[in-house]
Structure 1
Amino acid sequence: MNKSVFFLLAFFLTLPLFAQDVTFGLRGGPSFTTLGGDDGSVGAKFRVGFHIGGFASFAISESLSFESGLQYANKGANGSDGGVSAVVRNGYLDLPLLLNYRFGERFYGLAGVQPSFLVSPAIVLEENGNKVTVNGKDVADLYKGFDFAGVIGFGVELNAGLHVQTTYEHGVSNISEIADTAYNRGFKLTVGKSF
């Protein structure tokens, strides 16, 4: 792990020490992901996946809080080449480490980092109506087990602890073992409930 990643993680992981109040919750929704980079983005199109998990929010002041959580997120891309279509359908455990800044009563912005760990790689290949799913150990050697992304987004607080938010994730670490530059990219549309 390089020094800048280490210092970012250390910064975000020590923020809860300054928290005044803690809130827990659940959230989930659809994800719209693709692959970016010179090698990874060739023919890659967005695909619809999902994410689901829990979070904890640590209030630092009236308008600023630190938020972390654990989510299962389905990522990847759609593509085709020479009559063969392929769907990359990788499952990750995301650990978002975010600062949440409130604007007024209901609106807020999010920014931070997100380490992710590959837990279920899969590729679905289709040619002339014949589908084959390759997953687990058969495809795991194509991908690195760790991803790291920057995250930015905004949201709105509703009534009864409900909120809706959207975030953009920009992967900065190469996820491929065979391509020089292949990065996860994507948007999450999230509905959450605080308790």
Structure 2
Amino acid sequence: MKRFLLLATLAGTAIGMPTAQAQGVRFGLKGGPSYTTVVGAHVDGAAYKWGFHGGVLVNIPLNDRLSLQPEVLYSQKGAHEENSSTRIRLSYVDVPVLLRLATGVGGLFVEAGLQVGYLAGSEASIDTRKPLARVTSDFAGSYPPFDVGYAAGFGYQLANGLGLGLRANGGLRHVVKGATADDTARNLAFQLYLSAMVGRRD
């Protein structure tokens, strides 16, 4: 809990930091589907599964084309086992901090940065046929509480504040506690999102 409070405090500080560009700061909401799995050496049989992500963001202009964009997102991740009904669901509170560059071609932009994720929950489930049921187990103790990774993507922002984007984000740490150097399973997610911003960009 203390680690989560620290993470939330850091996120709040980043989002609320005063800048000389305060008049151009815009706040917003975003959300959409996620397509996630785990990747790495000796990761066999891990397929993609669908999930959801959503949260809040703030866009802080640094100049006419470059801006800083911290976000706080709830993100469902995990994987589906090939040829099986087994699914691993990992829920994170992700805090990406990205640099966003307006390309000058309409509202087209590109973005890239780093993110920290706090593991808010985990669950493994398997569908059984005899009897027909879904068996679930909580495996929170098997996963590290924090993930560190990267994020990059592109999108299109309308003048009225509505936007559409596609982003990839991946973890740089093992998703299983006690993993060896040979076991390099890491989170990977592709996220399609709609966003809405308020505030005037001067």
Q: By the TM > 0.5 criterion, same fold?
A: yes
Given candidates 27, 33, 46, the residue that maps to 1:30 is 33
Aligned 8 A contact 2:47 2:82 in 1: no
Gaps of at least 5 residues in structure 1 are 1-8
Given candidates 44, 48, 53, the residue that maps to 2:50 is 48
**What is the match of residue 114 of structure 1?**
115
Deviates more, 1:174-183 or 1:107-116: 174-183
In 2, Cα distance between equivalents of 1:19 and 1:54: 22
**What is the match of residue 6 of structure 1?**
none
Aligned 8 A contact 1:143 1:177 in 2: yes
Q: How many Å apart are 1:130 and its aligned residue?
A: 3.5
Q: How many Å apart are 1:30 and its aligned residue?
A: 0.2
Task: Tell me the secondary structure at the aligned position of residue 121 of structure 1.
Answer: strand
In 1, Cα distance between equivalents of 2:100 and 2:20: 13
Alignment RMSD (CA, Å): 2.0
Alignment of 1:174-193 (within 5 A): 174-179=174-179, 180-193=183-196
TM-score (norm 2): 0.81
TM-score (norm 1): 0.84
Q: How many Å apart are 1:85 and its aligned residue?
A: 2.6
Query: Residues 77 and 62 of structure 1: is their aligned pair in 2 closer, same or farther, counting only changes over 3 Å?
Result: same
| % same residue | 33
Gaps of at least 5 residues in structure 2 are 1-9
Moved >4 Å (runs of 4+)? 16-19
Task: Tell me the secondary structure at the aligned position of residue 47 of structure 2.
Answer: coil
Aligned 8 A contact 1:19 1:58 in 2: no
Aligned 8 A contact 2:119 2:144 in 1: yes
Counterpart of 2:192, as a letter, is L
Instruction: Verify: 1:101 aligned to 2:101, yes or no.
Output: yes
Aligned 8 A contact 2:55 2:71 in 1: yes
Post-superposition CA distance 1:149-190 (Å, at most 9, x none): 111100001252100010011211111115431100010001
In 2, Cα distance between equivalents of 1:46 and 1:55: 27
Query: Residues 19 and 145 of structure 1: is their aligned pair in 2 closer, same or farther, counting only changes over 3 Å?
Result: farther
In 2, Cα distance between equivalents of 1:150 and 1:141: 24
